[in-house]
Amino acid sequence: MKLYKPQESVFWWVDFSVNGKRLRKSTKRTSKTEAREVAQAMLKKEMDRVQLGAAEELTIKDALERYLKTIEGRPSYGPRKVLKGKLIGETRPNPKSWFIPPTTLMSEITTATALTLWKEREGEGFKGNYIGNEIGLLGRVYNLCRDVWGVAVAPNVRFAAPKYEPKTRYLTLDEERRLLEELHPDKLPPMARGVVGPARQDLWDFAVFLLDTGCRHTEGATMTWHDVDFERGVLHLYRSKVKNRSVLAMTARLRAVLERRYRTRRDEASPYIFPGRKDSKTPRGYSAAAFTAAMERAGINDPVVIARRGKATIHTLRDTFATKLIMNGVSLFEVSKLLGHSTMSMTVKYAHLEHETVSRNAVSVLDKLA
């Protein structure tokens, strides 16, 4: 066993081998005497694991990477890889963003860790679903460590996500028009966010696709030409999140977009309506930067608007689809089917919009009786 202090660290590190496996870890001690005590405890713990069958120790970074390998190739891989980067500080929205040090052991993750993550993200301006997704990822990896991988974890850790009022931000007809104007290939600023060539048209087409189907991003991105029935004018949509299928009729606007894309597709061998930019044999990856930039240019996320109605994101296009239907008399039950919700409880966040429609119908009746 050897103690040493790397040039870039204020802490002493330990270097030892157990059963042919070399381990180098920080003792997180600046005192060499204390570091030696910690190092001896580390050595004993590792020897106990090997000789007595004690649970394996794993850092949060290694645990997250092991989890990502289990979902590689799935639509959820990209978004969760992004969450992983933010969770352990590999990618940080700003230098002050809080993160869990990547060398933290899973056995050191506690309920307090999840609560701190929640409070810190709130302080950074994140809300609801985003914080819940991060805490959910942490909880999912914890459960795999405990129940599947046999990795040491702290007992009885709770990963309760914050409770918020559901987001109901949607685009008005004017906001939708302004967004599509900003995304149009003729309007998009040159080299906006690195978007060039056919990708400029892809942005506009994909926005129309989401607005007129109510699809989630990954559902739309993974749609294939085999799912399009031009003769009947419908789409056969598989929803990977809830594992069900829907048949959606095409709007005239969407049909025109799809017919044009089919005629002008760059790679006839690609099965995807929206193929990947670098590899047409793969679907479009998750990227919302250009949409976010277009919303900013269109004034959709003006601070005053955000304060009153919330921030618009690419998911807002799905909420816009549902909102337009409900405000024009389509029932919550029918909308839940179109959105592919597995239960009606998932559609409840739109209930207040239905109340407005019912109220207007009631006023119309009363006005006629007056």
Sheet holding 228-229, edge to edge: 228-229, 234-239, 244-249
pTM of the predicted model as reported, rounded to 2 decimal places: 0.59
Length of the chain: 370
pLDDT on residue 54: 67
- pLDDT, the chain, mean: 86
pLDDT band at 367 (very low <50, low <70, confident <90, very high): confident
Model pLDDT, residue 356: 67
| Confidence category of residue 236, pLDDT binned at 50, 70, 90 | very high
pLDDT number for residue 352 = 67
Give the lowest-confidence range in 68-72, 175-179, 190-194: 190-194
Assess whether pLDDT exceeds 60 at residue 193: no
pLDDT of 99 > 80? The answer is yes
User: In the predicted model, what is the mean pLDDT of residues 126-144?
Assistant: 90
CA angle 247, 249, 254 (to 5 degrees): 125
Please give the average per-residue pLDDT across 182-204, as a whole number.
71
Residue 78 has pLDDT above 90, yes or no: no
Structure tokens at 63: 């645990």
Who wins on pLDDT, 125 or 99? 99
Sorted by sequence, the CB contacts under 8 Å of residue 113 that are 6+ apart come out as: 100, 138, 157
- In this prediction, residue 181 has a pLDDT band, given cuts at 50, 70 and 90, of very high
Quote the pLDDT of residue 350. Answer: 74
278-331, pLDDT tens digit by residue? 888 888 887 788 899 999 999 999 888 888 888 899 999 999 999 999 888 888
Task: Identify the band that residue 70 occupies on the pLDDT scale cut at 50, 70 and 90.
Answer: very high
* Spatial distance between the Cα atoms of 30 and 42, rounded to a whole number of angstroms: 16
In the chain, DSSP finds a helix count (H) and a strand count (E) of 14, 6
* Per-residue pLDDT tens digits for 103-118: 999 999 999 999 999 9
Confidence of residue 162 (pLDDT cuts 50, 70, 90): low
Check: CB of residue 238 under 8 Å from CB of residue 245: yes
pLDDT of residue 98: 93
Please name the residues in contact with 320: beta carbons below 8 A apart, sequence gap of 6 or more: 170, 171, 176, 211
Check residue 262 and give its pLDDT: 95
Q: Rank 53-67, 167-181, 248-262 by mean pLDDT and report only the highest.
A: 248-262
What average pLDDT does the segment 324-339 reach? 86
